[in-house]
Amino acid sequence: MPRPRASRLDPERRQTLLAVAAEEFAEHGFDGASYNRILERAGFSKGVAYYYFEGKDDLYAAVLALTLDTLAQRFGAWQRPADADGFWRTLRERYFALTTHIVNDERSARLLRSMSQARTHPKLQEAWLRFEGPLVGWFQRVLADGRALGAVRGDVPESLLLASLMGIGQATDGWLLEQWAHSGVPALQRGAEQVFSLFEDLLVPRPVGPPPAKRR
């Protein structure tokens, strides 16, 4: 992780370094990115850079954190809606606002695509876990509010819903970005509608009634 003294780096120089690094990681991914090229373009020597960051993986973690912080600030904290209809309306608005933001900010989209590496890359596990913790907490609050409002099913354990929701999200994020890359914005928008319907199918309460008869 970034050294504690990284916070003392001149804000303008830090912004320059992270912007150059973000472009490099977005263009080449973590493995293909050149740490030396980042430092050269940002005007940093290796010695100065190492004083603040331990290496390429450390710098990637800082870029990822900045990208996610920007998204969080843009969309704000989750607030419990007044009722079940408001819950699904708010969730839908948040989801498609994120889709629109990604379309309008291609660099962030490419960085988010590279996050699939962070989930499995040995050097990026710490960066991924620092991101996953707050994300899991956000989904836990959403599920708890949804259940309290009667908008989310209560017939299965919340831990199972959370694991399923995270799994669908991780699987479909990359798929959506590939749809966009290969077929353009309309394909991304159609795919987003399909993905959101998967979330609804998973979470919406089931009708109450007798269980289906067992097959003999």
Q: How many residues does the chain have?
A: 216
User: Does the pLDDT at position 122 exceed 90?
Assistant: no
**Is there a contact between 84 and 150 (Cβ–Cβ < 8 Å)?**
yes
Q: In this predicted model, what pLDDT tens digit does every residue of 130-179 receive, in sequence order?
A: 777 888 888 999 999 999 999 999 999 999 999 999 889 888 888 888 88
CA distance linking residue 111 with residue 24, whole number of Å: 10
Which pLDDT band holds residue 86 (cuts at 50, 70, 90)?
Answer: very high
- Using alpha carbons, select from 128, 126, 138, 199 the residue that is nearest to residue 169: 199
User: Does the pLDDT at position 1 exceed 70?
Assistant: no
CA distance linking residue 93 with residue 96, whole number of Å: 5
CA distance linking residue 189 with residue 195, whole number of Å: 10
- Using alpha carbons, select from 108, 95, 85, 119 the residue that is nearest to residue 197: 95
The H or E element spanning position 66 is: helix 56-75
User: Does the pLDDT at position 36 exceed 60?
Assistant: yes
- Give the CB-side neighbour count of residue 200, counting CA atoms within 13 A: 14
pTM: 0.78
CA distance linking residue 213 with residue 86, whole number of Å: 35
- Residue 39 has what pLDDT? 94
Largest distance between two CA atoms of the chain: 73
Share of the chain above pLDDT 70, in %: 91
